Chains A and B, each alone.
Chain A
Amino acid sequence: MNIIIAGDGQVGSTLTRLLSAEGHDVTLIDTNSRVLESSQESFDVMSVHGNCASMEVLLQAGVKDADLLIAATNADEINLLCCTTAHGLNKKLHTIARIRNPEYTEQIYTMQDVFGLSMVINPEKQAAQEIERLLKYPGFLKRDSFAKGRTEIVELRVDASSKLCNVALIDMNSIVKCRVLVCAVLRGGNAIAPGGNFVLREGDRIFVTAPTENLATLLRNLGIITRRVRRVVLCGGGRVSFYVASLLEKNGIAVQIIEHDYDRCMELAEDLPDTNVIHGDSTDQSLLESEGLADTDALVSLTGLDELNMIISLYGQSRGVPQVITKLNRMENRSMVDALGLGSVICPKELCSNTIARYVRAMQNQSGAAVSLHAIADGQAEAIEFLVDEHTRNCNIPLKDIKLKPNVLLVSITHGSKTEIPGGLSSFRKGDTIVVVTSGRGTIRQLNDIFA
């Protein structure tokens, strides 16, 4: 497909890397020629220098032949104007705009057609939803949902005290007392596709496939505290904090926001009636203590600086807060967070790029193409969801008789509303949703590609 990406920032360049590697023709637009130059040198893309909201620049970028435009500059208004103009030039064009200002949310949903938008994406709101999902099941580092939320791949860390430490995978089901499947293990930064005799060690991060209804059982039997989260401290009062607080308020969870800017505190206090807004420096340990860090259930560091967030989270962890979530703006810092053994990491920009990438894949959704694709194990493996249809080979044949490609694992089959973790006798039929995990990047494009 011909894809135009307006705005070569963090989201823009992440998308560029993803989409150009998937074989799309990507054209970048930005006003900063230095950024464009470095993108040109690292990716196989073309670039146009100029204002993406101007018709001339859009035409130069080939908007007439494009299939998709993604506007991800840092100004909402420019993104909107860019999409509206582009849609005016090419009625068949799909447009995705990043809109972050909550004040625009409503008008955009009601006037989506007027603006010519196919999709609106709000990274901060998405991050907040992700944080809420994690807070619902404390203990998981990351959750990816498949098959309309019926199947999940969750990430867990194996600690020295964990019941799973030094356990072979073959014995795992008897410990957790429900059927789950470990589809990947990250050990020392490398993803491993484990066999039944694989023994888990301290420090491993494992990716477990389970039906959504089994998640609670899984946690309980692993001895991970399943106490409901009642009190959350949010450090930093940015947009993500606002969204998280408003989501948690609705669930009746007590929220405290610590923000150092007094005016911002006032705004938050006005918009969030049930939230405790505290004016102060969130890196000040005595302040955190006096606000009751010792008996909070979760600490989420959401300031604008990655290094600050890391420090806050480290402190929270050392004080024994059960769940710590760190927001990172730069994905490069992730490996360092892992080295520190901190809990979950949320990267709004990565979430945003993944959502857009999923949209792009859905656009090309011909028969047998992936419904959705999630990067797991720090991007070293992919979990791909497929819909079984009449063109799918090997329907109704027991899995033990089907030969799959060497690096492909079939991890779940969803018939109707029932998710099954497949065994040798399982089979899939037309209408099922299946999830496969593969370590070969980009090798599986269609469902039939998984068969050897």
Chain B
Amino acid sequence: MNYKMMGRFISQILFIEALFMIPAVGIGLYCGETAAVKGFALTLGLMSAIIAVLIMLCRGAPSAFYAKEGMVCVGVSWIVLSLLGCLPFYFSGEIPSYIDAFFEIVSGFTTTGSSILTDVEALSNSILYWRSFSHWLGGMGVLVFLLAITPSGAKGTGFTMHLLRAESPGPNVGKLVPKMRKTAAILYIIYIVMTIVNIIFLLAGGMSLFESVCTAFGTAGTGGFGIKNDSMASYSPYIQNVTTVFMALFGINFSCYYLLLLRQFKSVFKDEELRLYLGLIFGSTALIVLNLRGYYPTLEETIRHAAFTVSTIITTTGFATTDFDLWPAFSKAIVMMLMLIGACAGSTGGGFKCARLLLVLKSLKRNIRQVISPRKVQVVRNNGAIVDEKILDNANAYLAAYVIIIFVSFLLVSLDEFSIGTNFTAVLACFNNIGPGLEAVGPTCNFSGYSVLSKLVLCFDMLAGRLEIFPILALLSRSTWTSK
């Protein structure tokens, strides 16, 4: 293991985090929030000290960097990011327990949106901003940001592929253009432009600038931290609809947008994953609307809430306009199914990913055919291209790891004596980075009732879900740390 290189990397990541904390301090000063500013200042001081020590210790790091280091680096940097990112909450006294603060920021960076806060509106503005901004940063990934700003041509540039792979969601991560730096920059530019457009749309609906920025951060990262206790319920139908559309847009693979920019419309419209994703959104919305007949006074309201909920759940955002826990069982079942599937690969959303679902279904279909005619030679295709067997194996292995983690976490969380529905959906909501589950962790409730152990298990789930399991599992594997 190349610890020095990792240390240098982590110092860079922390530097970026510190840099992004500064606007929050500005907001705190502007609004005169002394406690919050003190919290940020303490955190920034501590971070600078850590950065300085890391730089001192890690001078002259050798540049050899391989898949294992890449994985571990991503896992460790996300944990360090969270351990320090939660300090403003803790130091400012707005979240008195460190574990709660940690849970809150992990939920932020992993774009989950599960909260332990009972009264969000009591938080100061700078803390609210930092909480929402963590979604934006975590959505596209802080390492991708680092890749976008590190000068290319630095030594050992090949390893960056390992980092992109470990941090970007999806079964088959590739570059858009030959240079890693440009790829990362393109992703971030698309991300920034879409966020700004979202803010403009929200401003046009009469939202204040601060609220639009925070809401847009939550939407763009498909996170779901609201700044109101009732999430999005009290906003106007226009704002709810805008958010529905933008959540769905941020759940689409960003390479589709790049192809659109290149005017390759045909390949975008023929993309199988996009078709599945849009099909799921429209299909589920239609089914829920049918199932909800008479539940809301008008058809418009039914469609609005159904579409919003489908969009928020499939993209794993976790905003809410209505308490879908009160919906009929069939609608709730659809919501739960969408929780499992998640958004497209290469988007800011979480979950199992539509692309992976497609691959698993296709490989299942092939295996069934194989039973019927054992000598049949078959290849799996995606968008017309043959899918490598290794990618299929990975998708199937991912499914296995996914199911095992869900059940182990479910077992551990169940020690807390909540109902089965609560515990199971809590795990689903955290692991898939959604936010609210059903029953006691439903859209109107929060996670504050869980014990410390459960909160840590759920934090683990959130990180594992965001980084797609393997980087976090790699941290736990003994072979990672020993040379044997």
Contact = CB atoms under 8 A, between A and B. Distances in A.
A46 B178 CA distance: 4
Contacts of B160: 44
B179 interface: yes
A375 interface: no
B175 A46 contact: yes
B157 interface: yes
Interface of A: 2, 20-23, 25-27, 33, 40-46, 442
A41 B162 contact: yes
Interface string B166-203: 00000000110111111000000000000000000000
B67 A41 contact: yes
B179 A25 contact: yes
A102 B152 CA distance: 41
B178 A27 contact: yes
Number of chain B interface residues as a range: 10 to 19
A219 B157 CA distance: 43
B388 A25 contact: no
11 contacts: A2-B178, A21-B153, A23-B152, A23-B153, A33-B388, A40-B158, A40-B161, A41-B159, A43-B157, A44-B161, A44-B181
Nearest to A24: B178
B157 A442 contact: no
Given A26-B178, A40-B158, A44-B152, 12 more contacts: A20-B178, A21-B153, A23-B152, A41-B158, A42-B158, A43-B157, A44-B158, A44-B161, A44-B178, A45-B178, A46-B174, A46-B175
B82 to A, nearest CB: 28
B161 A41 contact: yes
Contacts of A21: 153
Contacts of B157: 20, 43-44
A44 B177 contact: no
A44 B179 CA distance: 6
A33 B387 CA distance: 11
A37 B20 CA distance: 35
A42 B67 CA distance: 10
Contacts of B180: 44
A22 B181 CA distance: 14
Nearest to B156: A42
Residue from B158, B177, B179 having most chain A Cβ neighbours under 10 A: B158
Interface in B401-437: none
A32 to B, nearest CB: 12
Nearest to A22: B153
B177 A25 contact: yes
A447 to B, nearest CB: 20
Contacts of A40: 158, 161
Contacts of B179: 25, 44
Interface SS, A side: mixed
Contacts of B178: 2, 20, 25-27, 44-46
A17 to B, nearest CB: 9
Interface string B128-163: 000000000000000000000000110001111110
Residue from A21, A33, A41, A42 having most chain B Cβ neighbours under 10 A: A41
A141 to B, nearest CB: 28
B158 A442 contact: no
B150 to A, nearest CB: 11
Contacts of B177: 25, 46
A41 B178 CA distance: 12
A33 to B, nearest CB: 6
Nearest to B153: A23
A43 B157 CA distance: 6
A20 B162 CA distance: 17
A22 B67 CA distance: 24
B152 to A, nearest CB: 7
Contacts of A27: 178
Contacts of B175: 46
B161 A442 contact: no
Contacts of A20: 157, 178
Which 7 A-B residue pairs are closest in the complex by CB-CB distance?
A42-B158, A25-B178, A44-B157, A46-B178, A43-B158, A44-B180, A46-B175
Nearest to A441: B155
A232 B28 CA distance: 84
A72 B15 CA distance: 44
A40 B165 CA distance: 12
A27 B179 CA distance: 10
Contacts of A41: 67, 158-159, 161-162
Interface in B443-459: none
A311 to B, nearest CB: 32
Nearest to B386: A49
A21 B158 CA distance: 10
A379 to B, nearest CB: 14
Contacts of A46: 174-175, 177-178
A45 B178 CA distance: 5
Residue from B67, B178, B181 having most chain A Cβ neighbours under 10 A: B178
Nearest to A40: B161
Interface string B68-86: 0000000000000000000
A41 B175 CA distance: 12
Contacts of A23: 152-153
Contacts of B182: 25
A45 B162 CA distance: 13
Contacts of A44: 152, 157-158, 160-161, 178-181
B5 to A, nearest CB: 15
A25 B186 CA distance: 15
Contacts of B153: 21-23, 442
B235 to A, nearest CB: 43
Nearest to B159: A41
A200 to B, nearest CB: 30
Contacts of A25: 177-179, 182
A71 to B, nearest CB: 18
Contacts of B67: 41
A440 to B, nearest CB: 13
A444 to B, nearest CB: 14
A2 B181 CA distance: 15
A391 to B, nearest CB: 24
A273 B161 CA distance: 55
A54 to B, nearest CB: 14
Nearest to A44: B157
A46 B160 CA distance: 13
A25 B152 CA distance: 11
A221 to B, nearest CB: 42
A285 B31 CA distance: 90
A416 to B, nearest CB: 37
A240 B41 CA distance: 70
A33 B390 CA distance: 11
Contacts of B174: 46
A358 to B, nearest CB: 20
A43 B155 CA distance: 10
Contacts of B159: 41
Contacts of A33: 388
A26 B175 CA distance: 12
Nearest to A45: B178
A23 B153 CA distance: 6
A172 B49 CA distance: 54
A40 B163 CA distance: 12
B470 to A, nearest CB: 16
Contacts of A26: 178
Contacts of A42: 158
A44 B153 CA distance: 9
Contacts of A45: 178
Contacts of A2: 178
A45 B176 CA distance: 10
A2 B388 CA distance: 27
Contacts of B158: 40-44
Contacts of B162: 41
A445 to B, nearest CB: 11
A45 B175 CA distance: 9
A40 B160 CA distance: 10
